[in-house]
Chains A and B, each alone.
Chain A
């Protein structure tokens, strides 16, 4: 059974710092991996989608990497801003079930 773990559960950093959020999964049989952002009480906003054949994707200050063999993905946020404060969720598309499995999320606070 696919399990997705995100570490740390919470993170607080000063504005301007570069940071890395981690996502690990137990089954390498995935078809893609997606990173989302969720603001309190809101829905999810898609940030980056990495297909299983890809190693990384970039959008602005965000860079996501994927290493299927080790079951890991990272989300790198450059020059963090208070507006980046939110919960970040990773989700893997399981090739065995065709379903998206979510991690528990990392809640990020960027202090001015």
Chain B
């Protein structure tokens, strides 16, 4: 299995500020993804983090709000910009090992964000 480290593990932020979450994988992986889990809900895919190029965003998510970087095969960041209380969620980094349509997905511990 892959070991994924995320930081911060939790944070309390003020409305209007931005926060960058870091994700480090212990070995090279084919794909990296960012998910959001709102309170009491399941996981929603925000975007696929592409190494060396712009991320691919899902419907309802835009680059201006959630800029993502992936400078290499083991590291990615997600920024939550101009935060509002509706952004309070757990943000989860995940990585896929193996083939694009066969690989297993692993998750970090998540970053619990509270926006006041």
Contact = CB atoms under 8 A, between A and B. Distances in A.
B101 A43 contact: no
Contacts of A103: 42
Interface residues of A, number: 23
Interface in B1-53: 1, 4, 6, 33, 41-45
B74 to A, nearest CB: 17
A93 B43 CA distance: 14
Interface stretch (B61-69, B78-86, B103-111): B103-111
A15 B44 CA distance: 33
Contacts of B1: 46
Interface of B is mostly: strand
A31 B101 contact: yes
B86 to A, nearest CB: 20
A91 B41 CA distance: 14
Interface centre among B43, B90, B107, B108 (most CB of A within 10 A): B43
Interface string B74-116: 0000000000000000101010000011101111111010000
Nearest to B93: A43
Interface in A1-43: 31-32, 34, 36, 41-43
A65 interface: no
Given A31-B101, A32-B102, A93-B101, A43 B92 contact: yes
Q: Report, nearest first, the 9 A-B pairs whose CB atoms are least far apart.
A: A44-B107, A31-B101, A43-B109, A43-B107, A43-B110, A102-B43, A102-B42, A49-B104, A104-B42
